[in-house]
Structure 1
């Protein structure tokens, strides 16, 4: 029996050694059962409230589907996930792959465990959140920190009357407070947040958490109270419960939501005041002026789009957001004004010298051309097929070796069973013969089940891979031009790209682009059998079910080329 071990620790344990403790207990159990450990999977410092973004659990599911192990072993079900829906989804995926879950706390996991434990874990999370919020509110109403440390302050460490450590106290950091007042004065004087950030970085003044300053750190969000110039703690008002966070079930990421003003908790803390009323009001007045200008610009832009509704309707969404990076600072390239990609570090705080920009449409055309003309080249397909064949042959040898051993043992067991039956027919019987027969029959059933469940050999080569890939890329390119098929085609395109790096070229205004991909991903995307729309001549036909896996098989090497 080949088993996979899974372990996780999160902020409720605060101890990285917990993962090794979980693995140690699982290894001891596997040794007692004479199980072979096929691999270990872990997620460190990640909450159990969602498994969507956990790389360890995702790799576990993918490897289970590939038949790399026959059972998943963990310390307890809540170490896998505390989210009821996630537990049910994981259970269904593993059950479909023929891989059961066993935990040291609950034993073999069934639908009953999934339902009851999932409900209990969901109730635990809800109760924990309620008790945590109640405790934080009590601290805030006493004028103490509700979590986190704002720039301009430092933690006060002291002991209470009974010798316990008092938490939540802070005091003004004189040096940082002067930087805060400087930011307020310069912003009120008409200097932009980007220019302020650049000056601070040029002078070697560290920002919050020791990071570089950028424009968003300073301007933040007015309604949410984020950013240096919106933090009311600087005028002696401690704000709490201004916003809440909810988990997006599609991505597992936390999304902020603004709470009604009636739910805000406000406590006066005049001893923590850094900025005077006059300076605060001057900053608010300039923010109002900026907001009015933005409203006028927005109305003008809306009127312009009304006059150009046809062009606006045809304007496609960005396909490459989140995949484009700067070759100078390794930071992200993001869409800026007039639909152009620009280095975020350069535009936000001037910390990167790369000021080259590129039109979104031009970059998308170069990427599509590179995918079509380079990744579908015969040599790329040949490398992918060779690696696939080598890995397939290795797995086939393992399957054959296991099956040969099981068949040989099955023949031996059946021969022993026949010998006992013949002895009984001849009139010989002992009580010990019954126990021996039961053990042999159980072993025969076990071997029969293992042989029946053993996956069949896969073909060593995919001779039509090049033509299949060429056809799919052509369908993908065509589908990107049709609004109805564009979202699905965009997802397929993004699955083929690891990242795109942009660096300044040798000539003025020139920008070089390098695409990083994964042949394993491309092969997996190409060989996956999919079922498209009924009409195969329609754009996007055959794209339904395209795999978005980014995991490369053994032997696959990354592919890189200039665009």
Structure 2
């Protein structure tokens, strides 16, 4: 089987060895599996949040169309993408070309449970990004409160001193004051720009100033001595270059000269089944489409691409609201089946407790080094001391420390979650807010593998063994009618909101008492655990925060 390797690291703060280490471990994995590696792709110092910004990644996707390889090997799943949408989209693109994605260090297989485990890993990857962003934001907020430089291009007219504080630039500060004075006096921004170009002025990036350079400068409140970072505002943080009166006068002129803002179209509804819904007749993807009736109302559907573009399929389009509501209802029904939930939890726990390929090797090396240290110490005790004894012992101690650090990093990056923690994560989907598109999307991403739509029925495949459910449209209609008119009253008229999904208290009345009892049970178990261990560090940070969040609601 032919394979390619994809590697990536995120920032310049990481070393080139990060790529080389990924390539080495992926190569060793390929050798163990009997894969033939025909090419490697590597994006250096590029974030994994957006795939479009990674040239080597996009080249790999394009090369897959030639069907010259069968497998993409990555060091960890988050090396492929840290964005959930990109991950699903490009894995589906590779799958169409007969290519699968395999992690060299994470125990994920092609089984439905393995795909569910992959969703959990990707979920933690997204959490890592958000958590890292929050930590960086906290540090930058502290800098702002101390009026310190937070990075990025320095503001024209100021310089940064050795303590990272803003100080007026002896030359450019006078230019800033002059620009404000001239604009406040009635001179046009274009005239000011031309005069600055004639003087040979250069920006901080050593480029000629542009029109936006002038307008951005005129709107910048930093020239009032004001430091802003998100919601943090510190006035008189450093020496102002202009007076408030001149600044306000310039803002009034800018407001008068500003063009009328463009009218943007409202954001369209999100098609949450994109990439997972297929035509039952031809197998092609079904995409979201919309049409406007004579009354001006917009109707949204899923339509087979073969039927829409190639006219190679006669499958009619299906209502977006009907299909999405049905899939979500059947996904939520999974949580009424506790034996199934327990089986999924057991399977995931077994999958993620399989050791990575690197951890056993590191542990074996550490054991060998410790034996050699014991041998050297034994020799010293017996009086066998040579010139190289001290050097050998120091080297072994250094090797031991490095291996212990490497093992600790591996254990931190891949914490083993308990069954209770996995159950917490899965069962929180009971609380899915059906008015929240993001929460509904996450429910679909994690539990639904594929939907195949036929003329009279649809097949929903969930991410667990034997997770197929075939549903007749007649059954769906009967189910929807029972929800709209639960008491079978004559002359009943359904709520207009039913097209977009009923409120959660109408949709799931039978689950609420059980949910309350289940939450109290989890709280009781949690209290017993804390009384026994009294050590919160045993829980990984994501679940620690999750528990506290649930109980605070």
- Please give the range of the TM-score, normalised by the shorter of the 2 chains: 0.3 to 0.5
Output the TM-score relative to the length of structure 1: 0.43
Output the TM-score relative to the length of structure 2: 0.44
